[in-house]
Chain A
Amino acid sequence: MKGSASKRWLGVFPPAWRKRYGDELAALVEDLEHDDDLRALDRLDILRAGLQTRARGRRRRATVLATAGAATLASTLGALTLAGVLSSTPSPSSRCTVEINAKTGKVLWERGDCGALPQRVSGPSTLLRPRSSQGSPSHTIYLLPVVHAAHGSVHVVPGSQTKS
């Protein structure tokens, strides 16, 4: 393997690796040639090492990307949680119409900008209790201004509830 040939075999390594170690490895190949100790299997050895180096680089990049993605997700979730914790006083952020079971607070159906409603609506029991005898006493339709708290429950804002 002559000098130009050895450089061609070095092309299997990633560019950053070649920049750092390429000259040294080429010099080693030339030393082996000079000693008449360069063997046919050495080409395969260089090829295998180059492919392994590339594979390691890909694994490392994948690990970095996965770590960065997890960190971004964690920080986003953390920010959302923090925002939920900080908004201890609920304020109406959306309006939706839901039918709830007045006794259990279970959401039976929803319409409008309800976002991700939980299965049950929590709030002052006086607001969730039906005020008239219309309809079923346990299934009453309300127009509820709600705010979605961080822990997933829905707070009914007192005083702004209207029955439809």
Chain B
Amino acid sequence: MNPPSAGPESTAHETLSGALLLVLTSLAAGPKHGHSLMKDISAFAHVRLGPGTLYGAITRLEERGLIAALPADDRRRPYEITGQGEAVLEASVAELGRVVTAGKSRLRSLRGARGASPQPALHGGGA
């Protein structure tokens, strides 16, 4: 039985959640403004968020009370993670951890099955 395929909506949601999660994770290391956030996310996740995507994420996180703005230094306003943001980040990381654990386990099983049987099982389905 195949799992349900992800439609465009779920893909967009995952992408958006991804940007939110990246910003929250970056701010967990300390307050940062936009440019510092971009550089930090690029360093730890190897993902370059565009300026619009970054500020879209900042807007939504601040609306939800997950981050808070600090007094601006010139036009560069730093943000910090809030207590609520910390809780959401913890839950999100735990959920990701479960997915990572399941994914690793199933990949091992898949490779084990392929190792035991020379013919791949994934090519048998008709249209």
Contact = CB atoms under 8 A, between A and B. Distances in A.
Interface of A: 17, 21, 23-29, 31-32, 41-42, 45-50, 52-53
A45 B19 CA distance: 13
A135 B53 CA distance: 81
Given A17-B59, A53-B59, A27 B51 contact: no
A46 B34 CA distance: 14
A162 to B, nearest CB: 66
Contacts, number: 60
Contact of B75 (A17, A23, A42): A23
Contacts of A31: 34-35, 76
A45 B33 CA distance: 19
Nearest to A34: B35
A41 B33 CA distance: 21
B34 A49 contact: no
Contact of A28 (B35, B56, B59): B35
Chain B interface, >50% SS class: helix
Given A24-B33, A28-B34, A50 B76 contact: no
24 contacts: A21-B55, A23-B75, A24-B33, A24-B75, A25-B34, A25-B52, A27-B34, A27-B74, A27-B75, A28-B34, A28-B38, A28-B76, A29-B51, A32-B38, A32-B51, A45-B50, A46-B50, A46-B52, A47-B52, A48-B52, A49-B51, A49-B56, A52-B56, A53-B59
Contacts of A26: 75
B50 A24 contact: no
A24 B74 contact: no
Contacts of B75: 23-24, 26-27
Contacts of B53: 45, 49
A147 B76 CA distance: 69
B76 A24 contact: yes
B40 to A, nearest CB: 13
Given A28-B51, A49-B56, 12 more contacts: A24-B72, A24-B77, A25-B34, A25-B51, A26-B75, A28-B54, A28-B76, A45-B51, A46-B51, A47-B52, A48-B52, A53-B56
Given A17-B59, A53-B59, A24 B34 contact: yes
A42 B52 CA distance: 7
Question: Max chain A CB contacts within 10 Å: which of B50, B53, B55, B76?
Answer: B55
Given A25-B34, A28-B35, A50 B59 contact: no
B38 to A, nearest CB: 7
B55 A41 contact: no
A17 B56 CA distance: 10
A140 to B, nearest CB: 63
Given A31-B35, A42-B50, A49 B74 contact: no
